[in-house]
Amino acid sequence: MRNKFSYLLWAFLLILLGCSGTENTDQQTTDTPPPISDQMLGELIMQGFRGMEIDSVSPLVKEQIANGEIGSIILFDYDVGYKSYGRNIESPAQVKQLLTDLQSIAPGYLLTAIDQEGGRVTRLRPTYGFPALASAQDMGAQPTTDSTTYYASLNAQTLRHLGFNVNFAPVVDLNVNPENPVIGGIKRSFGAETETVVEHAQAWIVPHSKAGILSVLKHFPGHGSSQTDSHKGFTDVTNTWTPEELAPYREILASEGAIAVMTAHVFNRAIDSYYPATMSKHYIQGILRDSFHYDGVVFSDDLQMKAVNTLYPFETIIQQAINAGVDVLVFGNNLVDYDEGLARRTIQTIRKLLDEGKVSEERIRESYERVTALKARLKE
């Protein structure tokens, strides 16, 4: 009898232990993050493409969007490779249909971006049937921000109607060098004083935020003092840049609104003697994250610009940008040889870097979580 009782007791204990072990296994399984998928990596990629309607977009680009390998897209009106207009933009109805169709084939919510600053940098031009926008310099020269608010409201409603959710504007570079070929020289700065830039930038951001459009401040940590154009080559601001150029970012990022940041490819050996800002932890992690306590999404400037593309191998650019803290790798696909499979090549490169331990899964997951959280807010 005693043996039978002991047998039953042990059997009962084994069942309990088995259940307990199963619960622990389930808990461990629940706590284990999913493997890094191509779709997760795709959330870190923004790519430009050719085509003005869904049928003229290449099958490979559409396949990458449908697979989630391209999580964000950017539109242009001018095609640099073809040296002609007619890349993605022809009319309001055409742009709206294109974005609607591309959004419909994506497995998740696409970020749909454009550079619509006003003045010289305007992709949606009056010649296509869109409203005219004054330049930042002309808006900043006004005694009040009323003009800026007017143009921003007009632009925000246009972008919202078409289906955009990201605008790479406003420029918050201080107009340190009025002859700057890529900022002051083409009237992209609101002004030389921090107060002017901050006031007008906020007047620009608020209407966009109300319309559900993300405003992206550029070009961190400041491109206004440069003497060269980072689209065209190495851009060294070591002798011209001052910490005051960070002030607009510090003040605006402390305010409310749907805001993100775009990095610049400027080089400053006093801060990082090896890499430009887009590829440097000293700028993104050290200044933006640690000093300014910014935890939102960081977009790179176009990684095909010559300030990085001609100086570093593709793999090095990807490795350094991700490790520096960039969340979305931007490829306009409009400055060098057109590459329909660019996103897929980028994903393969990131996988290689992960396998070699040069990029950590933790960094990938950080960016993935920031991007997906941003998308959830914009989709509301």
CA distances (Å), origin 232, targets 61, 182, 277, 298, 309: 27, 10, 16, 23, 10
Place of tokens 């779709």: 39
| CB atoms closer than 10 angstroms to residue 120 | 13
173, 231, 265, 327: the catalytic one is 231
Q: Where are the alpha helices (DSSP H) in 272-313?
A: 281, 306-309
Q: DSSP label at 109?
A: P
Rounded distance, CA 348 to CA 203, Å?
Answer: 41
208 catalytic, yes or no? no
Give the helix, strand, coil percentages of the chain, each rounded to 5: 45, 10, 40
- The angle formed by the CA atoms of residues 107, 122 and 106, to the nearest 5 degrees, is 5
Bridge partners (DSSP) of residue 47 are 73, 331
77, 301, 302, 327: the catalytic one is 301
Bridge partners (DSSP) of residue 330 are 46
Rounded distance, CA 344 to CA 101, Å?
Answer: 21
Rounded distance, CA 15 to CA 9, Å?
Answer: 10
Taking a C-beta distance cutoff of 8 angstroms, is the pair 254, 293 a contact?
A: no
200 catalytic, yes or no? no
Residues catalogued as catalytic: 231, 301
